[in-house]
């Protein structure tokens, strides 16, 4: 099933969140995870259904960018957390979503904040529904976008 470039990027974003979570839980390195997703997860059938195509280069770019820029990404997130709240207290999936979004909003190439926020709030909904976690992700990303505009 052929997908538009935008849909392929959306699938890449979702996969990047999953991969970042997997890296955190397993301790695997970025190259191993990129290779695993490329060889075993993208462009495959699952129970007879063709999975959506992903922009694999964009996926790898996000994942490598988050890893490379993690100190700056985490600093931007930490500035938006409540006083005394540490990044490691955030749910691991929500943390992965926020890190990917922040990298896209502040990294190279730059994704406009409105697009990144919209895309990653949709990713959050796929994991958490319309609940508090999704609202939290949206609030943190909106705050980081305001910080970035003010800088």
Q: What are phi and psi of 105, to 5 degrees?
A: -75, -30
Judged against a pLDDT cut of 60, whether residue 3 lies above it is answered with: no
Q: Residue 46: what pLDDT? A: 53
Note if the pTM is more than 0.75.
yes
Angle (nearest 5°) at CA 8 between 75 and 104: 15
pLDDT tens figures, 20-45: 999 999 999 999 999 998 887 787 65
Q: Which domain holds residue 19?
A: 5-150
Judged against a pLDDT cut of 90, whether residue 120 lies above it is answered with: yes
Q: Residue 45: what pLDDT? A: 57
Q: How many structural domains compose the chain?
A: 1
CATH number of residue 132's parent domain: 1.10.940.10
Judged against a pLDDT cut of 90, whether residue 54 lies above it is answered with: no
Judged against a pLDDT cut of 50, whether residue 1 lies above it is answered with: no
For residue 125, which of 111, 114, 141, 136 has the smallest C-alpha distance? 136
Instruction: Measure the CA–CA gap between 104 and 82, rounded to whole angstroms.
Output: 23
Average pLDDT, whole number, for the chain? 89
Q: Residue 110: what pLDDT? A: 82
What average pLDDT does this structure show over 76-102? 94
Judged against a pLDDT cut of 60, whether residue 10 lies above it is answered with: yes
């Amino acid at each position: 099933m052929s997908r538009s470039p935008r849909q392929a990027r959306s699938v890449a974003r979702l996969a990047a969140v999953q991969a970042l979570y997997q890296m955190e839980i397993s301790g695997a390195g970025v190259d191993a995870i990129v290779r695993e997703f490329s060889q075993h997860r993208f462009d495959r059938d699952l129970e007879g259904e063709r999975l959506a195509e992903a922009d694999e280069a964009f996926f790898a770019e996000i994942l490598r960018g988050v890893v490379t820029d993690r100190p700056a990404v985490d600093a931007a997130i930490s500035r938006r957390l409540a006083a005394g709240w540490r990044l490691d207290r955030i749910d691991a999936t929500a943390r992965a979503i926020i890190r990917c979004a922040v990298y896209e909003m502040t990294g190279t190439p730059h994704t406009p904040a409105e697009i990144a926020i919209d895309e990653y709030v949709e990713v959050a909904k796929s994991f958490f529904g319309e609940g508090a976690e999704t609202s939290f992700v949206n609030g943190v990303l909106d705050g980081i976008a305001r910080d970035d505009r003010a800088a």
